[in-house]
Structure 1
Amino acid sequence: MADALSKLLETRDWLMADGATGTNLFNMGLSSGDAPELWNVDQPEKIRTLYSYAVNAGSDIFLTNTFGGNASRLKLHDAQDRVRELNRIGAELGREVADASGRTVVVAGSVGPTGDIMAPMGSLTHELAVEMFHEQAEGLKEGGADILWLETISAPEEYKAAAEAFAMAGMPWCGTMSFDTAGRTMMGVTSEAMVSMVEKLPNPPLAYGANCGVGAADLLRTVLGFAAQGVERPIIAKGNAGIPKYEDGHIHYDGTPELMADYAVMARDCGATVIGGCCGTMPEHLGKMREALETRPRGPRPTLDTIAATLGGFSSATDGTGDDADAPKRSRGGRRRRG
């Protein structure tokens, strides 16, 4: 039986994903430093509301509130023995919202990085990473997630470990990396290198791409890097709503709904099939993105100059692939933060 995402991809040439998790939850009262996953049990109505934001704005896919739901991250909150429970309930709440929507909405079980550094640089072995990802995957599967969604990964070794774990769980999956360091991931992966890695996996994702990073312009440059490889696998674009700024003790993103509407259309024209937002992306952004995708015709593939003129310059002169040394650069930048 084909999974829900594959069925949608057969009938549509673009799909809209969701927006921010953390930004929305902070607005609901989550305190910095708290584990959002605990809210799956302690504040289920707020998590239903989070999911409903995306569905009501027109998202075809939304991610569960389980980004940090692995044993390593949950250990920071003395909840490492609750991995299966928190992931299962996070997916169950999502299943409720999706099934009540009256249309096909894909529940994607969010799986973030472990927070540990892979061996030999760090202490996280491949076997332990697979075990942690598998435990989380089984919880999401029990809760009724349609697919698993690996996101904000920097290390190729961690991406590969997750792929192996998802195969053990028998679940289809998608996977994105975060290109936040001069167009590369923190561990040095370029868009070109990611495509090569994905295509060599024994259990490749249904779709792959980039999320978070620095800003929408940088992310679209990465999408162009994926598309240049000529791979037919669907590309995912989940960019931040502008650039993070620290104001009055809080992180704010300066991207307007109108800017994110432009970003969504440009992401599609750059070659992305699954288009959503990451940090700072609120329901009002998603609504404008959906409207733009539905009403604006496809255009030519944007140039770097067009992207910079529309969304702002890039945070670095190059994306690491060597094809864009003359890319317009912006003077302001920001570091990624899961949102």
Structure 2
Amino acid sequence: MKDWKSILCSRGLLVLDGAWGTEMIKRGLILGECPELWNLNRPDDVRAIAASYREAGADIILTNTFGGNPFKLKKANVLSKIRQINRRGVELSNEVSGDSLVFASIGPTGEFMEPLGIITEKQMITCFAEQVIAFVEGGADGVIIETMTDLNEAKCAIKAVRENSNLPVAVSMTFSKGRMGFATVMGTGPQQAAIELESSGVDIVGSNCGFGIEDMVGIARIMRSTTSLPLWIKPNAGIPKLKNGKTVYPESPEQMARFIPELIKAGATIIGGCCGTTPRHIQLIAKKCHIYPVR
């Protein structure tokens, strides 16, 4: 397991990878298909996506395990392969990572916890533990709990990681923007999220998805005002639009890269891209990160 802290300290900034889902769609992923099953059925494509981000300059590469939890895999009728799918997801990224770190991805289950739903805290922790055990077997350097909107669900994932591994934990929330400012759909703002996540003992906090890079500057600034932890920021390539029946992300690599200095000034220390971003986006983000002095 590589030491992410020493790498961050030596470089000042770390570059994350970009989108996985939209890259898989380019390679033929169809609506309703289980992306994580590609770890077993189309490993060359998964490996190629990870490699493309490594070659673009990413210091941290994620894994094709975002929806690899029992709830989602059961709906895809592949629950019996959960350990294999998650372990292989980590292995595929590791095979092409070189000296880059591999952080295994945990996404939301899509289920509501009590009292809004029927899933108990114990059930949710057990759910995420299945993934974490496989991540350890696959040789992950860390875990990223991402695109979270429910702090309680995120905390269950944190507990699962802590109880089943010694891996560092990053948690990234997804916010919307309303009249009262930024908040998750459950009503949690960036400030509250940063405070509660830090008190939960995570190593890294941040935000991904939801917005393009300009709005993410504001989120980064708010989170930085309440935490000294490394700040993980992964914006979309803009707000998606429909064009000729297809979803299009409007922010070009050049447009996103222009905001990197401002994002760094706002306090971000670990920067990449989410939906719609490509290896070219990451390449230009990496160039900006390498020339901009950390303050």
* TM-score between both structures, scaled by the size of structure 1: 0.83
2:163 aligned partner:
168
The 1-side partners of 2:146 and 2:34 are apart by 17
Mapping 1:1-339, distance limit 5 Å:
3-98=2-97, 101=98, 104-170=99-165, 171-182=167-178, 183-201=182-200, 204-229=201-226, 231-297=227-293
Cα deviations by residue, 1:118-151 (Å, 9 ceiling, x for unpaired):
1100111111110011001111111111101100
Structure 1 residue 198: Cα displacement:
1.3
In structure 2, list runs of 5 or more residues that go unmatched.
none
The 2-side partners of 1:164 and 1:296 are apart by 36
The 2-side partners of 1:296 and 1:232 are apart by 20
SS at match of 1:277: coil
The 2-side partners of 1:119 and 1:3 are apart by 37
Paired residues in the alignment total: 291
Structure 1 residue 190: Cα displacement:
0.4
Flag the structure with more relative contact order, 1 or 2, with Cα contacts below 8 A and sequence separation at least 6.
Answer: 2
Q: Contact 2:19–2:277 (CA<8 Å) still a contact in 1?
A: yes
Q: Which moved more, 1:264-273 or 1:142-151?
A: 264-273
Q: Contact 1:244–1:252 (CA<8 Å) still a contact in 2?
A: yes
Q: Contact 2:220–2:233 (CA<8 Å) still a contact in 1?
A: yes
Cα deviations by residue, 1:81-122 (Å, 9 ceiling, x for unpaired):
221110000001111111xx3xx2000100000110111001
Q: Contact 1:60–1:105 (CA<8 Å) still a contact in 2?
A: yes
Identity fraction in percent: 36
The 2-side partners of 1:149 and 1:296 are apart by 25
Equivalent residue letter for 1:197: E
SS at match of 2:272: strand
Structure 1 residue 239: Cα displacement:
0.4
Structure 1 residue 199: Cα displacement:
2.3
* TM-score between both structures, scaled by the size of structure 2: 0.95
Q: Contact 1:179–1:219 (CA<8 Å) still a contact in 2?
A: no
Equivalent residue letter for 1:221: G
Structure 1 residue 215: Cα displacement:
2.2
The 2-side partners of 1:278 and 1:76 are apart by 25
Structure 1 residue 192: Cα displacement:
0.9
The RMSD of aligned alpha carbons is 1.4
